[in-house]
Amino acid sequence: MVMLLFLVLLKLIPANCLDFVQGRIVGGYTPSPNSIKYIVSLQSSNGQHFCGGSLVHKSWVLTAAHCNIGMDQMMVVAGDYTLGAYEGTEQYSKPLLLNLHPQYNRSTNNADILLIQLSAPIELNRYVSLAPLPKQNAGLLAGRVCQVSGWGSISHSGGLTPLTLRTVKLPIVSTSKCNSSNSFSGNITTNMICAGSSTGGKDACKGDSGGPLVCDGRVYGLVSWGNGCGDSRFPGVYTAVSRFRRWIDQTIYNPYSQCLKSAGLFSRED
C-alpha cells in the first residue's frame, strides 16, 4: 500500500525520481483563487508543503493521521493559493496539540484522521472560511460526484516554486467494488470511502494527503492512500469523515477532555 504523504526527505531522492514523488492532483484543473476557502497547506519547518487539511474551527484543522510528522515540524497555512508566493491572504499558525485518532493503525490505514489544535486562531475573512462536515454516519451513493483538491510541492531543483491549488471531480466508488479482489481485495474498512474515475486518469496523489474530498459542499473524505495515482482499477481511498463526526465534535467542543490531553494524563496514541 502506498501512503500518499508527500515525502519530506526529498533531499535523499535522486532528481530523476522527483517527477514520481512530486505528484499532484491528477487530471484536474486550477480553481479560481481562494475559491476553496477552508483548505490549508501543512508545511514543514523549512516551508515545504507536505499535506493538505481543512479548517473546521478557527482553532482546529482536520487532516490525515499519516500526515503527522511531529508537532514541532509543522506549520499550518490558511488562505493560500500559490505556494511559495506571498499573496497577502496567507495566515500562519503552529500546532498547539495533535489529537490523533486512538484507533489509527498505520499498517492498515484504518482511522487515518488527525485533529490539529492551533496555537493561534485563524481569522475568518474573504479568503478563509470553515469547512462544513457531514452528519455522523451520513452515507454517499456510488456515482455521486465529489471534488478533491490539493497542491503539488517542490521544483526539480529542490527549491520552492509557485504552485497553485488543483482540483478534480471524481465519482464515489462503492465499497463492495473497491474492496473486491479486482481492487483492494479486503483492505477497505468501514472507516474508508473510495472515489475515482472508472476510466482512470483522475485522482489525488502524493502531497494531496489529508486534503478534502468534498461532496454536496461537505468534507466527506480525507485523502488517505491508494495504489499508484489515476489507475482505474485502484480508486483513491479516503478517510470517511462521517464516521468520525462525533469524535471531531467531542474533541473540539469538550474542554474537559482537552485539558486532560494537554496535561498528558492519557496517551493519545494507543
Ligand X SMILES: *[C@@H]1O[C@H](CO)[C@@H](O)[C@H](O)[C@H]1NC(C)=O
Q: Would you please indicate which residues are annotated as catalytic (active-site) residues?
A: 66, 112, 209
Dist. CA 93–CA 154, nearest whole Å: 21
Instruction: Report the residue number, 107 or 267, with the smaller CB distance to ligand X.
Output: 107
Dist. CA 90–CA 184, nearest whole Å: 38
Residue whose CB is nearest to ligand X in the complex, by number: 186
Dist. CA 110–CA 236, nearest whole Å: 14
Contact status, residue 202 vs residue 170, Cβ threshold 8 Å:
yes
Residue 228, classed as helix, strand or coil, is coil
The minimum distance between CB 88 and ligand X, in angstroms, equals 43
Instruction: Report the residue number, 64 or 188, with the smaller CB distance to ligand X.
Output: 188
Instruction: Report the residue number, 38 or 234, with the smaller CB distance to ligand X.
Output: 234
What are 175's three cell numbers?
465499497
The minimum distance between CB 1 and ligand X, in angstroms, equals 5
Instruction: Report the residue number, 60 or 184, with the smaller CB distance to ligand X.
Output: 184
What are 105's three cell numbers?
493503525
What are 84's three cell numbers?
511559495
The minimum distance between CB 189 and ligand X, in angstroms, equals 6
The minimum distance between CB 228 and ligand X, in angstroms, equals 11
**How is residue 110 annotated by DSSP?**
B
Binding site residues, ligand X, CB under 6 A: 1, 105, 107-108, 175, 179, 184-190, 227
Residues 6+ apart with CB under 8 A from 81: 33, 34, 87, 89, 164, 165
